[in-house]
Amino acid sequence: MRFFRYFLSSFLLFYITSFAQAQTLNCTNVDTYLKLLANSHFSLTESTLKTLEKNAAISLLEDTAAQQTLQNTGGTYKAICEAFVRLSGISNPQNSFYEKFLTKTLDEVDPHTNFFDEPEAKKFSDSLQGEFEGLGITFKAQGENGHGPFRIYAVIPGSPAAIRGLQVDDLILKMNEQNTSDLTREEFHKMIQDQKGSFSLTVQRGDLTLSILCHKERFSNPSVSYYFLHTQGLAYIKINMFTLTTGEELEGVIQFLQNIYEDDLKGILLDLRENLGGNLSAAIKVADIFIDRGPLVYAYNKNNELSNTFEARGVGVTTSAPLLILTNNFSASASEVVTGALQDYGRAFVVGKPSFGKGTILGFWPLENTTPNYHGAITFTTSAFFRPSGQTVQWNGVTPDLEIEDPQITKPVYERDHPKALHLDPIPREFNAPYAFRQTAKTIASAFSFRNNYSNFENSDIQLTKATDLLKRIALIPEEPSHFGPPFYYAHPSHRLHMNTDLYEPESKLVAKFSFKVRKKMGKKKSSPIQEETLYETFGFVTGNELTLSLQNTPVETYVTNYQNYGSVILEVTIQKKTKANPEIQTFTYKTFVLFDPL
């Protein structure tokens, strides 16, 4: 069940404590760590922890007589540790000996109480700062039963993947000489994690098969990404993880969208799938953006006492725009704080699958506070959190208002699947939802029928497609099949546009027209009408599913370069298609905003 070790992203309470100092790990350190753990853990007692410590030591001994001797050993945590060292026969144990012992002990407490050696602790701490080491792609399985090949559906800007030229919609066929069709999504992810040094990925891009040399590096990853779902005021926002800057990032995104849409934001789809959680204060700031004031989370300690109430402080950047939240079984912890609170308030309508079900708060203890020159860490459950209504997400998660299946996830994993998961009862409170949107959306959804026809592009993420269609219905925008992915504008190293389509097929002829436009207000008043003005037009043949357009030495490059800020232009794509089987011309159009950052 080591999988649960990586549902780390939770709420962090940093303990800065002073104890007797030592230079390397030893039984004195073990005694200090376990004493603090027994005193601070949400449900742990000293006698229980001593039993777990002893059982861990016994399981690590191979000699039966030594195991029996240790079984009869009593006393302090330190005494048990010293007996274990003596019976192991190791005269001068190194840090790795104690790391293994502590890991084994803490793994038996609950799914989220863990010991981290120095590399793991650094990785965990970096992730909360938005710093990562890896390749920088997200992908979905295209084979049966969650197997490969794997299609890339996001490449983090500035990541090693972006630098090496991996692109959205690339189909990963091989890693080194290993066919990805033989791997599950989890196995492929682990292969990348375990890879040392350079490795090759064989990808299919349209009609081309490419071998791309890759390696993992450290890079920064903004926690919030977004694009436009429709020019009439719909936006998609993805929060990857709740880091220390997520609240500020999201507030900036919302304000930018309001500016683009002239304060007429008709709907937001907030995607919290695969968001394992993160920092509690960030989650509170995110929820605060969508409501005015009121309690968001109640925290209870090990004595079942209310220890803290976290409230919205009236930031309320957007309190009226329709809000859909998309979740799955990988939406955990801080994601469940945001989802549960906004659902209780009636501010959001939740779609997708039930969330992970982690309703506890973690403490993060950097061990360098007590053991100088040793930079490991311990996380442990300090308290439980409850929704504004008094319900708990522990065990059962947040139940969507409308379930949408995801065929990519065939065997979802939840907190309750762990044998040591805590079970909590709700603490009911009188709470009346101050917002009416959730009920309005329920009424609309109850009479809503999803389309029967979806394009290949839409089927690649059917949850997102169906959630988008529902948001369009709520915003009174027609639902239409889409054959295009969101466009990405790259100002560096050369000005180019990249987007994907599923319209190409062998023996077909596709001619595309690209029109770039800017919006100009015809007057100085806020109510002055807005007119679209053509900036640049060009034509080209489509020879694959990837559309890449060079915009160097065009009016678009000039406009972006002179803008000197984050901005957008309108893109209108018209594709005329005919095939050998169907010689009649079919016309497909797509209109959206293209975001750019000229810096």
Order of strands, sheet of 224-230, starting from the edge strand that comes earlier in the sequence: 224-230, 234-239, 267-271, 323-327, 349-352, 402-403
Cα 281 from Cα 170, distance rounded (Å) = 37
Residue 232 confidence (pLDDT): 87
Cα 590 from Cα 512, distance rounded (Å) = 11
Cα 248 to the chain's mean position, in Å? Answer: 17
Phi-psi region of 329 (alpha: psi -120 to 50; beta: other; left: phi over 0): alpha
In this structure, which amino acid lies at residue 88?
A: S
Phi-psi region of 200 (alpha: psi -120 to 50; beta: other; left: phi over 0): beta
Q: Pairing relation of β-strands 199-205 and 208-214?
A: antiparallel
Residue 510 confidence (pLDDT): 93
Q: Are 261 and 223 in contact (CB under 8 A)?
A: no
Q: Other CB atoms closer than 10 Å to residue 64's CB: what's the count? A: 8
**CB within 8 A of 356, min separation 6: which ones?**
7, 276, 329, 330, 331, 332, 333, 335, 336, 397, 413, 414, 415
pLDDT mean over 218-244 = 88
Range list of H helices, 359-497 = 437-446, 456-459, 462-474
Cα 239 from Cα 391, distance rounded (Å) = 24
- What is the 8-class DSSP label of residue 398? P
What share of residues in the chain are helix, strand, coil (percent, to 5)?
30, 30, 40
Residue 440 confidence (pLDDT): 97
Which long-range CB contacts under 8 A does 180-184 form with residues at least 24 apart? 180/148, 180/149, 180/150, 181/143, 181/147, 181/148, 181/149, 182/147, 182/148, 183/147, 183/148, 184/141, 184/145, 184/146, 184/147, 184/148
Residue 374 confidence (pLDDT): 87
In this structure, which amino acid lies at residue 414?
A: Y
Strand partners, 298: 309, 386
Cα 416 from Cα 395, distance rounded (Å) = 5
Confidence of residue 4 (pLDDT cuts 50, 70, 90): very low
Residue 16 confidence (pLDDT): 32
The helix (run of H) or strand (run of E) holding residue 97 is: helix 95-106
pLDDT mean over 150-177 = 84
Q: Could you tell me the CA-to-CA distances from 369 to 99, 159, 223 in Å, in that order?
A: 17, 33, 29
Tokens of 316: 């309320």
Q: Which of 547, 482, 478, 537 is CA-nearest to residue 510?
A: 547
Q: Other CB atoms closer than 10 Å to residue 204's CB: what's the count? A: 16
- The DSSP code sequence of 311-366 is EEES--S-SSS-EEEEE-TT--THHHHHHHHHHHTT--EEEES------EEEEEEE
- What is the 8-class DSSP label of residue 548? E
3-state secondary structure labels for all residues of 79-91: HHHHHHHHHHCCC
Q: What is the pTM of this model?
A: 0.83
pLDDT mean over 68-85 = 95
Which long-range CB contacts under 8 A does 482-485 form with residues at least 24 apart? 482/455, 482/457, 482/458, 482/590, 483/455, 483/457, 483/588, 483/590, 484/457, 484/573, 484/590, 485/168, 485/169, 485/457
Cα 61 from Cα 80, distance rounded (Å) = 13
Domains of the chain by range and CATH? 2-128 (no CATH), 132-220 (2.30.42.10), 233-358+393-444 (3.90.226.10), 488-596 (2.60.40)
Residue 543 confidence (pLDDT): 84
Residue 14 pLDDT > 60: no
Query: Is residue 160 reached through a cis peptide bond, with omega within 30 degrees of 0 on the bond before it?
Result: no
Q: Which residue has the higher pLDDT, 494 or 275?
A: 275
Q: Which residue has the higher pLDDT, 212 or 520?
A: 212
Q: Other CB atoms closer than 10 Å to residue 418's CB: what's the count? A: 18
- What is the 8-class DSSP label of residue 115? E
pLDDT in tens, 119-162: 888 877 777 676 777 888 878 788 887 789 998 877 776 788 88
How many degrees, rounded to 5, is the angle at CA 471 between CA 467 and CA 473? 115
pLDDT in tens, 402-411: 999 998 888 8
Cα 479 from Cα 477, distance rounded (Å) = 6
Residue 163 confidence (pLDDT): 82
Residue 520 confidence (pLDDT): 82
Residue 428 confidence (pLDDT): 87
- Burial class of residue 582, CB neighbours in 10 A (0-12, 13-18, 19+): exposed
- With a pLDDT cut of 90, the percent of the chain lying above it is 59
Residue 113 confidence (pLDDT): 94
Q: Which of 37, 62, 61 is CA-nearest to residue 48?
A: 37
Q: Pairing relation of β-strands 267-271 and 323-327?
A: parallel
Cα 303 from Cα 598, distance rounded (Å) = 54
The mean pLDDT value of the chain amounts to 88
Cα 369 from Cα 366, distance rounded (Å) = 6
Residue 420 pLDDT > 90: yes
Cα 591 from Cα 26, distance rounded (Å) = 64
Residue 238 confidence (pLDDT): 95
Q: Other CB atoms closer than 10 Å to residue 398's CB: what's the count? A: 29
